[in-house]
Amino acid sequence: MSMAYEEYMRQLVKPMREELTRAGYKELTTEEAVTEFMENAEGTTFVVVNSVCGCAAGLARPAATQAFLHAENKPNQALTVFAGQDKEATAKMREYFGDIEPSSPSMALLKGKEVVHFIPRHEIEGQSLESIFENVLDGFNKHC
């Protein structure tokens, strides 16, 4: 790939990354960062697998940010990896999801290293923002 293309993509996804980090999500961009975090994970962790698609922009990120900002029961930490951009980090995070088929965008709530609630793309795309928000809150309320 050309350097111009790579720079274009970095600039294109910058606001997509910032939407989550402004809401308190820690972004993991390398395989090593994912491994280090997950091998020491305690409590509950909410992970958003970010994406450039329209359902990420209009549904997944807004639901994830609003749920994390306004939930009474919150996970101990919130993370994000960016599918298609930080490929190694995303692949490594998906290893912690076990047999769950890769999906982006998607959201996973983990207790330690165990997935206890998962929202795949098909439960995001075509759904209302409110129903996704409620799905996230349901996971938080049951497991946090």
Residue pLDDT, tens place only, 11-62: 999 999 999 999 999 999 999 999 999 999 999 999 999 999 999 999 999 9
Q: Where are the alpha helices (DSSP H) in the chain?
A: 3-21, 31-39, 54-55, 61-70, 87-95, 129-143
pLDDT over 90 (residue 3): no
pLDDT of residue 6: 84
Choosing from 34, 47, 48, 55, the catalytic residue is 55
Q: Are 123 and 104 in contact (CB under 8 A)?
A: no
Confirm whether 144 is a catalytic residue: no
pLDDT of residue 32: 98
Q: What is the torsional sign of CA 14, 79, 109, 132?
A: negative
Picking from 78, 85, 140, 83, the residue whose alpha carbon sits closest to that of residue 94 is 83
What are all long-range contacts of 15-18, with beta carbons under 8 Å and residues at least 24 apart?
A: 16/50, 16/52, 16/56, 16/57, 16/61, 16/82, 17/50, 17/80, 17/82
How many Å apart are CA 73 and CA 81, to the nearest integer? 23
Choosing from 9, 53, 115, 129, the catalytic residue is 53
How many Å apart are CA 1 and CA 131, to the nearest integer? 39
pLDDT of residue 1: 58
pLDDT digits (tens, 9 = 90+) for 65-108: 999 999 999 999 999 999 999 999 999 999 999 999 999 999 99
Going by their DSSP bridges, the two strands 77-82 and 106-111 should be labelled as unpaired
pLDDT over 80 (residue 117): yes
Q: Are 67 and 133 in contact (CB under 8 A)?
A: yes
How many Å apart are CA 15 and CA 99, to the nearest integer? 31
The mean pLDDT of 110-130, rounded to a whole number, is 97
- For residues 114, 34, 26, 70, the Cα torsion angle rounded to the nearest 10 degrees is -10
